[in-house]
Structure 1
Amino acid sequence: MREIVIVGGGYAGFYTAWRLEKSLRKGEARVTVVDPRPYMTYQPFLPEVTAGSVEARHAAVSLRRHLHRTRLIAGTVTEIRNADRTVNVRPTAGDDRPLRYDILVITAGAVTRTFPIPGVAEQAIGLKHVEEAVAIRDRLMTAFDQAASLPPGPERRKLLTVTFVGGGFSGVEGFGELLSLATSMLRSYPELSIEDLSFHLIESRGRILPEVRDKPGAWVVDSLERRGARVHLNTQLVSAKDGHVVLSDGEEFDSALIVWTAGNAANPVVHNHTDLPVDERGLLMVRADLRVGTDSEPVADVWAAGDDAAVPDLASPVPGAHTVPNAQHAVRQAKRLAKNIVADLRGGRVRPYRHDSLGAVATLGLGRGIFQYKRIVIKGFPAWLMHRGYHVLAVPTWERKVRVLAVWLTAALFGRDLVSLLSVQRPRDAFVTNGYPERADVNRTIDEVA
Structure 2
Amino acid sequence: MKRVVIIGGGYAGIYALRELVKNKNIKITLIDKHTYHNLQPEVYDLIANKSNFADVTIDLTTLCLGFNHDHLEFKNLKVRKIDQHKQKIFTEEEEIVEYDYLIMAAGTRTYFPPQIPGLNSADDIKKLHRAITFKQHFESQLFQKIKDEARQCADTHIVVVGAGLSGVEIAAEMAYYSNKFFERGNFSCDNLKISLVSSSSAILPGLKQDLINISQKRLKSLGINIITNTKLQSVEDGYCVLSNGTKIHHSFVIFTGGIEASTISSELDDVERNGRGQLIVNEHLQTEKHQNIFAIGDIAEIKNKDGELMPPNVTIARISGTCAGKNVLKLIDGKPMGVCDPKLDGILIALGGKYAAGDIYGMLTVSGRLAYEIKKYVFSSYRKPLIKLIKKGYNKLRRM
Match of 1:327 among 310, 314, 324: 314
The one-letter code matched in structure 1 to 2:273 is V
Q: How does 1:247-396 map to 2 (within 5 A)?
A: 247-271=242-266, 273-293=268-288, 299-314=290-305, 319-373=306-360, 374-395=362-383
Give the Cα separation in 1 of the matches to 2:244 and 2:275.
Answer: 32
In structure 2, the CA distance between the partners of 1:152 and 1:163, relative to structure 1 (3 Å rule), is: farther
Gaps in structure 1 of 5+ consecutive residues: 404-450
Change (3 A) 1:402 1:190: farther
The answer (yes or no) to whether the contact 2:82–2:267 under 8 Å persists in 1 is no
User: For residue 161 of structure 2, what is the aligned residue in structure 1?
Assistant: 165
Does the Cα contact within 8 Å between 1:17 and 1:67 map onto a contact in 2?
A: no
Displacement after TM superposition at 1:253 (Å): 2.5
CA contact (8 A) 2:62 2:389 kept: no
SS in 1 for 2:237: helix
What is residue 76 of structure 1 aligned with on the other side? Answer: 78
**SS in structure 1 at match of 2:81:** strand
Matched-pair contact (CA < 8 Å) for 1:372–1:378: yes
What TM-score results when the alignment is normalised by the length of structure 1? 0.80
Q: Matches of 1:384 and 1:254 in 2, distance apart? A: 33
Maintained 8 Å contact 1:113/1:262: yes
CA contact under 8 A between 2:84 and 2:268: conserved in structure 1?
Answer: no
- Deviating above 4 A after TM superposition, structure 1's stretches of 4 or more consecutive aligned residues are 151-155, 400-403
> Which residue in 2 is equivalent to 1:39?
36
CA distance in 1, matches of 2:320, 2:177: 35
1:291-343 Cα deviation digits (max 9, x unpaired): 221xxxx52211111111112212xxxx4212211011102211121111111
Compared CA separation, residues 161 and 279, structure 1 to 2 (3 A): closer
* Partner Cα distance (1:153, 1:342) in 2: 67
The alpha carbon displacement at 1:216 in A equals 2.0
SS at match of 2:46: helix
Report the CA distance shift for 1:152/1:275 in structure 2 as closer, same or farther (over 3 A): farther
1:239 aligns to what?
234
- In structure 2, runs of 5+ residues without a counterpart are 392-400
Output the TM-score relative to the length of structure 2: 0.89
**Percent identical residues:** 22
CA distance in structure 2 between the aligned counterparts of 1:343 and 1:288, rounded to whole angstroms: 15
Work out the CA distance in 1 between the residues paired with 2:40 and 2:342.
20
- Is contact 2:58–2:387 with CA below 8 Å preserved after alignment? no
Distance in 1 (alpha carbons) for counterparts of 2:367 and 2:354:
10
Q: CA deviation at 1:178?
A: 1.0
The secondary structure found in structure 1 opposite 2:175 is helix
Q: 2:211, 2:367 → 1: CA distance?
A: 9
For 1:120 and 1:15, the matched residues in 2 are separated by: 34
CA gap 1:344/1:207 in 2 versus in 1, 3 angstroms: same
Count, aligned residues? 384
Structure 1 contact 371–383 (Cα < 8 Å) conserved: yes
Whole-Å separation in 2 of the counterparts to 1:345 and 1:276: 22
Are 2:190 and 1:199 equivalent residues in the alignment? no
Answer yes or no: is the 8 Å Cα contact 1:88–1:97 preserved in 2: yes
Cα 1:396/1:107, change in 2 over 3 Å: farther
Distance verdict in 2 for CA 1:133–1:209, change over 3 Å? same
Deviation (angstroms), 1:375: 4.2
SS at the partner of 1:228?
A: coil
Contact 2:172 2:222 in 1 (8 A): no
Instruction: Look up the match of 1:136.
Output: 134
More divergent stretch after superposition (239-248 vs 38-47): 239-248
Aligned partners of 2:237, 2:29: CA distance in 1, in Å? 44
The one-letter amino acid paired with 1:301 is N
Alpha-carbon offset, residue 127 of structure 1: 1.5
1:12 counterpart residue number: 12
Where 1:332 maps in the other structure, the secondary structure is: helix
CA distance in 2, matches of 1:231, 1:402: 42
Query: What does residue 172 of structure 2 align with?
Result: 176
Q: 1:228 and 1:130 mapped to 2: Cα distance? A: 27
